[in-house]
Structures are given as C-alpha cells and as structure tokens.
Amino acid sequence: ELVEQLVERGVGGIVFLSGLHADTSADPSRYGALIDRGVPFVMINGCNDRVSAPFVSLDDRAAMRIAVGHLADLGHRRIGLATGPLRYVPSARKREGFVDALGSSLGLSREEAQEWVCCTLFSVEGGQVAAGALLDQGCTGIVCGSDMMALGVVRAARERGLRVPQDVSVVGFDDSQLIAFTDPPLTTVRQPVQAMAGAAVSALLEEIGGSPVQRTEYVFQPELVVRGSTAGARVA
C-alpha cells in the first residue's frame, strides 16, 4: 500500500530496505509490476534472483567468519548463532557463514555446526528465546543476527545468574547507534551503513537519469567492533 502511494505521488525511484525481496517465500511479482510501470528501484540486504534490479548487500558470510573467529581466538569452543527466520536471505547467509566458520575454526562437520544455530525473530524477545536454547547446550559464546537479539541474549544470561562477558560472550550485528552505551558496551559486527546507503542512492540516481546500472549485487565488507561484551572463555 505504501509503495502504491509513493508511485501515485510520482516518486522518481524507490530504495527497498529489507523488504519482501529478502523473503524467499514471498511473491516477487509486485517488483515486476514496478518495472512494467517504469519505476526504477534499488534493493538493500536481500538479493533475489527473481527480481531484476541492482542490489546492495553486506557480506553476511564474512561477518560470521569474523565473529566466530573472534570468539574462537578468545578460547571459546561452544559457540552458538541466534538469528532470524531462514526464509530471509540475510539469515540464510549468516547460517551458511557460521557453519563454515565453525568448520574452519573448530573443525566441526556441517551437521554438527548446524546444531548450534537457533532461528527465532529479529528482536530482543527473539534473542532471549534463542539464548535459552543455546545456553542449555552449554554455549559460552553467542553470535547474534542483530544488536536487538544480542540485548535479548544478555538479558537471558543475566536471568540465569550468568555474567556477560565473564561467563558468556555476546557478539551483536549492525552496530546500532546506542549499542556502544549498553551495559556492557556491545561487541558487534558493523554494517557500513553510510557507504551502503550512498551506493544505493547513487545507483538509483543513475537509473533515474537514464543510465541503467548493472543488475547485480554490490557487496560490502563488515567490520568487527570489539567492546565489553566478549572476553576469554572461562577455564573449567
């Protein structure tokens, strides 16, 4: 409905951020209808081969390699992933990267590594639920699919009388604006939001100006920001 309103108002183009294009179970025909109407658009985070458009994405697989590598270097050997539903492209890619990282860092098979993945919702409550399952499995380090999920993991750990990071290390994802001021300040994987947004707008302006941009995925690299929610694993 919102898209229809925008088109009726004569917008020159649209940037979609984590829209239905990121949901592999959704019908992408609405995007085809936009193409037929001559409305240019660019997609952020959620490459979909059923839609002909420029895509701007973070390298989710690399993000997981960085996060898992950080925890493994700190001595953690039971590392879990709390992320969103796998029908979303970023979640599926995070799981792929996480499973590969557990294999390369800890020598786990794909089957073993997948047992350390818990998919819930991208929310504080979703993080709490995922943390309950992963802590029951004995995880001492948990990588999250969003900063909000990470806050839920911290809450769940504290409800069990566990300390972050002394007992459980937590890594977020996004580097949201206020995350540096949480208790503890959250170690997280930063998305280069300004660079990604700039690339999306630049591509859209090219499209609006009549210079079609290549229908491909422009992938940006993540950065680990180490703060106070990760520490060396406790020695039993």
Task: Report the percent of the chain where pLDDT is more than 90.
Answer: 90
Query: What pTM did the predictor assign?
Result: 0.93
Distances (CA, A) of 69 to 106, 112, 140: 9, 17, 14
pLDDT, averaged across the chain: 95
Whether the CB-CB separation of 168 and 140 falls below 8 Å is answered with yes
Rounded to an integer, what distance in angstroms lies between the CA atom of residue 110 and that of residue 114? Answer: 6
CA 103/CA 86 separation, integer angstroms:
20
Mean pLDDT of 218-228: 97
Among 139, 209, 196, 208, smallest CA distance to 167 is for 139
Per-residue pLDDT at 236 exceeds 70: no
Helix or strand or coil: residue 171? strand
pLDDT tens string 133-179: 999 999 999 999 999 999 999 999 999 999 999 999 999 999 988 89
Higher pLDDT, 235 or 47: 47
Average pLDDT over residues 210-217: 91
Q: How far is CA 43 from the centre of its chain?
A: 15
Residue 177: its pLDDT value, please?
A: 87
* Residue 187 main-chain phi, psi, to 5 deg: -70, 130
Please give the Cα distance from 12 to 117 (Å, whole number).
41
Proportion of the chain above pLDDT 70, given as a percent? 100
Domains and CATH numbers, the chain: 2-58+192-222 (3.40.50.2300), 60-190 (3.40.50.2300)
The pLDDT-based confidence of 192 (bands split at 50, 70, 90) is very high
Token pair listed for 95: 């799981």
